[in-house]
A = this chain, B = another copy of it.
């Protein structure tokens, strides 16, 4: 009997609660006959990835992880800065997906323009630089910060209300027709946010794992 192909979703921070949140968020893609989706924290990761140093410090550990285990059919790096994406791709012939890239690309498949909800103001220049790098700025409506920490966002009670407020500003003032949640730890707010805004809301990890699943399925059959 052939074993199911496995997709490794790596949370590059060591906050186990975020990893657990990823697992919950990805359950709808856990089909009986489909790929196995495994979420794992990066042991070497900081508790949250908020600075450029956090981003750059996990690149090589991610590469090592990706190189070390030949049993995965695809990898997903679950941090909205796509840390180590290029170096991981260099280190394996398996597909490696970054959630920021996949989140934006998936938003572009749904609507004319997209807006991004960032955790913090300080991440926005990094995200803008990355959008330029990807050549994907033309349909950006805007990016606005929650100004919360990753931890707060994942667990805080007022998070959803704040996300709705920011989402409305992106939609009504900036003209966004889809919203990308700019953090791996916001997934559980996707549906209520979409219900409130009535435009597509993209969880980037879900977007990336969807692409990984398709890639794996079509390679295997």
Point out residues on A near B: beta carbons under 8 Å.
27-29, 31-34, 51-53, 55-57, 59-60, 63, 84, 86-87, 89-91, 95, 97-98, 101-102, 105-106, 108-110, 112-113, 125-126, 128-130, 132-139, 175, 177, 190-191, 194, 200, 203, 206-211, 213-215, 217-221
A63 and B59 contact, CB distance less than 8 A: no
Residues of B within 8 A of A63 (CB): 53, 56
Query: How many copies of this chain sit in the oligomeric assembly?
Result: 6
B200 and A218 contact, CB distance less than 8 A: no
B101 and A109 contact, CB distance less than 8 A: yes
5 contacts between A and B (CB under 8 A): A31-B31, A56-B63, A57-B60, A105-B106, A133-B133
A91 and B53 contact, CB distance less than 8 A: yes
Find A56's partner among B59, B101, B134 (CB 8 Å cutoff).
B59
Cα separation A214 to B203 with both chains bound (whole Å): 11
Find A132's partner among B102, B125, B133, B220 (CB 8 Å cutoff).
B133
B27 and A221 contact, CB distance less than 8 A: yes
Cα separation A218 to B187 with both chains bound (whole Å): 10
Given contacts A33-B31, A34-B31, contact A210 B214 (CB under 8 A): yes
- Name the residue on B nearest A194 (C-beta): B219
A73 to chain B, nearest CB (A): 13
Residues of B within 8 A of A218 (CB): 28, 190-191, 203, 206
A95 and B200 contact, CB distance less than 8 A: yes
In the A-B complex, the 10 residue pairs with the smallest Cβ-Cβ separation, listed nearest first, are A210-B214, A135-B138, A31-B31, A133-B133, A28-B217, A28-B221, A105-B105, A56-B59, A56-B87, A52-B90
Given contacts A33-B32, A52-B86, contact A132 B128 (CB under 8 A): no
Cα separation A130 to B84 with both chains bound (whole Å): 15
Known: A53-B91, A106-B214, A132-B133. 18 other contacts (CB 8 A): A31-B31, A31-B34, A32-B33, A56-B60, A56-B63, A57-B60, A95-B110, A105-B108, A110-B215, A132-B134, A135-B136, A135-B137, A135-B139, A136-B136, A206-B218, A209-B214, A210-B210, A210-B215
